[in-house]
């Protein structure tokens, strides 16, 4: 069994928190550039121009792209042929988040849900563990800001509502959210599983590259159809009108109970900050 | 759509000439306050106590900045979503607040208060926190330090770039989603 040192986990997570918050991923940048080229409205072009200038400035100054450095969400795949030594994996990941948020001058936004007292160090992170074959440890980090997350919803449709019902719910949700979640947004859609699983797969889908194509042609076609419907809403960058309401739609489909059709819509802002490492 | 350079404190005549879509470069002192700070401000008002800053002519920026790294007055400082402050904004407008700065839709009550008390709602670009921080030249916590990122700050801004989203004449810049074109 392969051994992975705990201190390597801490360093990897801390590094992802800092880089993730200060460097706009290349796929997001190129999508914003293409969106800007396709917009006619001056306000849409200006907003997109500001977002690109903001990304350059964050890169040069190491300031976070957005003051909301998010709640740290981590998807962890643990190979069943490896083990982490020198500490409990959950604690090590939280140590990494604590270190990254402190050293990167990132905003700590974790607080008690009722007293609203800030925990002060960005922890606890939201960590999803998955056991996979192999001897590698794969950790994906996402900075999930509150503004977009608040616009997300889970619902339980009746099976008969099918794809038409799914589309209607997603389109109405994005329309209702309007300018609030910092459009152009990226929409993670989880279809299937159970109540809680739909939400998890909707979020996990946001880790995909913006310009990839879903391996299942049927799902790829659904993503394209939904993306066109959402862009037809005309909300545009920051809700000021335009052709770019979403930068992408990422659908994850998984089997569900024969009585159910769980559906989750996870709204992500244009500042799609995420990183992955493999140890 | 016009472009204006305005200074704080804001006066009624400043607000009256603004229309949705105008660009404003704001210079002077503004105050940061978001969810938890608003709750505390209103508690002070309820208790008949003085606020940590003068509301008359003020502009409140809905922001929770990231910590200032060495050599900069403030960290990243873009707007947060404004609807969460809708409960408090009408009362603050009635007591002299002239402008709020944020992103996203406002309630009917806030829009009515802006008409009644001559207020304006400015939008700043969400997620452009690094860029917007360049317009903030000084920043100091003046109240509720225990709230961390949500503390009230007095910030000196120079040519802070804003867009009039809601004016005091009932005008609004946000588009209505075209739900009819999507099925």
**Contact between A28 and A272 (Cβ < 8 Å):** yes
Q: What percent of chain A has pLDDT over 70?
A: 100
Global pTM reads 0.95
> In this prediction, does ipTM exceed 0.90?
yes
- Strand pairing of A274-278 and A137-144? antiparallel
- Measuring CA to CA, how many Å separate A122 from each of A108, A110, A168, A216, B182? 4, 5, 36, 37, 40
Q: How far is CA A272 from CA A60, A99, B76, B95, in A?
A: 19, 22, 16, 39
Residues 6+ apart with CB under 8 A from B33: B41, B60, B61, B62, B85, B150, B152
Most A CBs within 10 Å, among B175, B178, B181, to test the A interface? B175
pLDDT for residue A78 is more than 70: yes
B100 touches chain A (CB under 8 A): no
- The predicted pLDDT at position B180 comes to 73
Positive or negative torsion for Cα B65, A242, A52, A221: positive
Give the three-class secondary structure for A87. coil
Nearest to A43 by CA among A173, A230, A235, A185: A235
Taking residue B50's Cβ as centre, other Cβ atoms within 10 Å add up to 8
CA distance B20 to A191: 40
pLDDT at B183: 46
How much is the average pLDDT of A64-76?
98
Nearest chain B residue to A175 by CA distance is B177
The answer for B 115-134 residues in CB contact with A (under 8 A) is 123, 125-131, 133-134
Task: List the single residue in A43, A118, A229 with the smallest CB-CB distance to B182.
Answer: A229
Q: Report the gap between the CA of A200 and the closest CA in chain B (Å).
A: 24
Gap between the Cα atoms of B13 and B125, Å rounded: 26
Partners of residue A267 in chain B, C-beta under 8 Å: none
Mean model confidence pLDDT for chain A: 97
Pick the CATH number of B3-151 from 3.40.50.300, 3.90.226.10, 3.20.130.10, 3.30.450.70: 3.20.130.10
Record: contact A58-B76, CB cut-off 8 A: yes
Cα angle A96-A100-A101, degrees, rounded to a multiple of 5: 120
Contact (CB<8Å) A67/B81 = no
- Classify residue A223 as exposed, middle or buried by CB count within 10 Å of its CB (0-12, 13-18, 19+): buried
What is the mean pLDDT of the segment spanning A225-233?
Answer: 97
Please give the average per-residue pLDDT across A71-89, as a whole number. 97
* Contacting residues for A131 by C-beta, under 8 A, at least 6 apart: A77, A78, A80
Sorted by sequence, the CB contacts under 8 Å of residue B139 that are 6+ apart come out as B65, B68, B73, B74, B153, B154, B155, B156
Mean pLDDT by 10 residues, chain B (183 residues): 96 97 97 96 96 97 97 97 97 98 98 98 97 97 94 97 97 92 49
Helices (H), chain B: 12-16, 35-46, 89-94, 108-117, 129-133
State CA A124 to chain mean position distance: 18
For an interface test with A, which of B43, B72, B75, B177 has the most A Cβ atoms less than 10 Å from its Cβ?
Answer: B177
Strands (E), A195-234: none
Q: A271 φ, ψ to 5°? A: -85, 75
User: Which H or E element spans position A201?
Assistant: helix A195-205
Q: Which residue from B66, B77, B133 is facing A106, i.e. has the nearest CB?
A: B66
Is pLDDT at A155 greater than 70 in this prediction? yes
* pLDDT of res. B181: 55
CA A142 to chain CA centroid, nearest Å: 6
Phi, psi of A127, rounded to the nearest 5 degrees: -120, 125
At A244 the three-state DSSP class reads coil
Q: pLDDT above 90 covers what percent of chain A?
A: 100
Residue A61: its pLDDT value, please?
A: 96
Q: Give the residue among A210, A229, A220, A228 at the shortest CA–CA distance from A251.
A: A220
Strands (E) across chain B are located at: 3-7, 23-32, 59-61, 99-102, 120-123, 136-143, 152-166
Which letter does DSSP use for residue A136 in this model?
-
Closest CA to B173 of A66, A47, A152, A185: A47
């Amino acid at each position: 069994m392969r051994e992975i040192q705990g201190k390597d986990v801490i360093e990897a997570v801390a590094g992802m928190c800092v880089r993730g918050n200060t460097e706009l991923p290349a796929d997001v940048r190129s999508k914003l550039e293409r969106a800007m080229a396709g917009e006619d409205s001056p306000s849409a072009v200006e907003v997109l121009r500001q977002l690109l200038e903001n990304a350059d400035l964050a890169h040069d100054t190491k300031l976070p792209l957005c003051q909301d450095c998010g709640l740290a969400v981590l998807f962890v795949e643990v190979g069943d042929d490896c083990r982490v030594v020198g500490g409990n994996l959950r604690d090590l990941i939280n140590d990494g988040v604590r270190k990254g948020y402190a050293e990167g001058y990132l905003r700590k936004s974790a607080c008690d849900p009722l007293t609203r007292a800030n925990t002060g160090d960005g922890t606890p992170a939201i960590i999803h563990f998955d056991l996979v074959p192999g001897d590698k440890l794969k950790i994906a980090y996402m900075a999930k800001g509150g503004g977009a997350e608040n616009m997300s919803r889970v619902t339980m449709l009746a099976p008969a509502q099918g794809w038409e019902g799914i589309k209607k719910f997603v389109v109405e949700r994005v329309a209702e959210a309007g300018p609030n979640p910092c459009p152009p947004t990226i929409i993670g859609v989880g279809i299937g599983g159970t109540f809680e699983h739909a939400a998890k797969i909707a979020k996990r889908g946001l880790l995909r590259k913006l310009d990839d194509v879903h391996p299942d042609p049927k799902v790829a076609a659904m993503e394209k159809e939904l993306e066109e419907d959402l862009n037809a809403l005309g909300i545009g960058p920051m809700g000021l009108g335009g052709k770019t309401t979403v930068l992408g739609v990422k659908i994850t489909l998984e089997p569900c109970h024969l009585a159910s059709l769980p559906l989750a819509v996870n709204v992500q802002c244009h500042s799609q900050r995420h990183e992955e490492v493999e140890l | 759509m016009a472009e204006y350079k305005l200074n704080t404190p804001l006066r009624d005549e400043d607000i009256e000439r603004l229309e949705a879509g105008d660009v404003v470069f704001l210079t002077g002192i503004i105050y940061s306050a978001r969810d938890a700070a608003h709750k505390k401000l209103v508690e002070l008002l309820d208790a008949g106590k003085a606020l940590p800053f003068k509301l008359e002519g003020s502009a409140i920026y809905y922001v929770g900045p990231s910590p200032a790294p060495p050599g900069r007055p403030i960290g990243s400082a873009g707007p947060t979503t404004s609807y969460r402050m809708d409960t408090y904004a009408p009362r603050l407008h009635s007591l002299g607040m002239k402008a709020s700065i944020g992103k996203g839709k406002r309630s009917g009550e806030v829009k009515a208060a802006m008409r009644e008390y001559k207020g304006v709602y400015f939008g700043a670009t969400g997620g452009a926190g690094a860029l917007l921080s360049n317009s903030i030249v000084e920043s100091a916590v003046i109240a509720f330090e225990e709230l961390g990122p949500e503390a009230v700050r007095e910030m000196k801004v120079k040519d802070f770039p804003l867009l009039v989203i809601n004016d005091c004449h009932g005008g609004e810049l946000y588009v209505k989603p075209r739900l009819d074109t999507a099925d």
